[in-house]
Amino acid sequence: MAQLAPIATAIGAGASILGTVQQAQRQSATAKAQAEAARQQEAARIEQARLQQAADARQREQRLAGTLASTRARLAAGGVSPDQGSAAALTAGLERDAAAAQAESDQIVAARLSAGRRSLLNGDGSLTSWLRAGSSFGTSLRNLLD
């Protein structure tokens, strides 16, 4: 009977290691699936932000075109040439303001995208599982030698 105890301990250690390795493989597969889902969500979020930015830019361009057209029409109706003097300065100022708003919007979108980026250092958890397997093996070996 005493001779069977070390064999039983070795078999138990082997089963424990096998279970830990299988658990590590399952965790690794789950982590990979979660990482892929996170990548897809991040890509969808980036695409959505870019589409929203493009729609906002189109809307600003349309608003600027309308504002410039109405300003030029009012100036022309008042007998002022919209392409000369203070009228030209006014339309140029409107265009500069629109360009500044577009640049600010671009910066905001860039900041939002960079804030949501996941770290490249996020692990998949597989190292932890292997360390646990090694610890389990070490404990089993120590028990076997005692």
Residue type, 67: T
Whether the predicted model's global pTM rises above the 0.85 cut: no
Contact 96, 73 (CB under 8 A): no
In tens, the pLDDT along 2-47 reads 677 777 777 877 888 888 888 888 888 898 899 899 888 888 888 8
DSSP code at position 131: H
Distance from C-alpha of 12 to C-alpha of 1, rounded to nearest angstrom: 16
Tell me how long the chain is. 146
Query: 61 near 121, Cβ under 8 Å?
Result: no
pLDDT of 120 > 50? The answer is no
The alpha carbon of 108 is separated from its chain's Cα centroid by a whole number of angstroms, namely: 15
Q: How do the domains of the chain map onto residue ranges?
A: 4-145
